[in-house]
């Protein structure tokens, strides 16, 4: 079943592609499979779940360089987004836990 993207998602894939190429060229990192169609699946999965996907491209490229990776790919960025979504979920759970603990503590104090 082919992926159907909205016009906004198609534009985002094109933007991510160009941004990744420009950023890689700027820092001297090679890029492969960074055409817009290579970002379709990532955009389809994470559009609306990850805020600031262009800035996440920068973070992913920075991570690649810090780990000595020689090539940036859209697939690597997809894996990055998967981890970012996981980190965001864990952070949200942590916030909810702290909030519920605070409510419980406040309820005990008001008695």
Spatial separation of the C-alpha atoms in residues 106 and 100, rounded to whole Å: 10
pTM of the model: 0.81
- For helices 7-27 and 74-109, the axis angle rounded to 10 degrees is 110
Write out pLDDT tens, residues 61-80. 999 999 999 999 999 999 99
How far apart are alpha carbons 93 and 25 in whole angstroms? 38
pLDDT average, residue stretch 86-95: 93
Domain ranges of the chain: 7-83
pLDDT band at 104 (very low <50, low <70, confident <90, very high): confident
pLDDT tops 90 at residue 103: no
| pLDDT tens digits for range 13-56 | 999 999 999 999 999 999 999 999 999 999 999 998 888 999 99
pLDDT at 111: 62
């Amino acid at each position: 079943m082919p992926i159907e993207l909205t016009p906004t998602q198609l534009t985002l894939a094109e933007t991510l592609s160009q941004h990744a190429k420009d950023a890689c060229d700027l820092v001297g990192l090679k890029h492969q499979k960074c055409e817009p169609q290579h970002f379709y699946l990532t955009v389809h999965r994470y559009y609306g779940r990850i805020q600031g996907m262009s800035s996440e491209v920068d973070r992913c490229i920075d991570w690649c360089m810090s780990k000595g990776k020689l090539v940036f790919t859209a697939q690597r960025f997809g894996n990055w987004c998967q981890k970012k979504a996981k980190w965001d979920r864990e952070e949200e759970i942590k916030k909810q836990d702290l909030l519920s603990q605070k409510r419980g503590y406040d309820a005990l104090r008001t008695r």
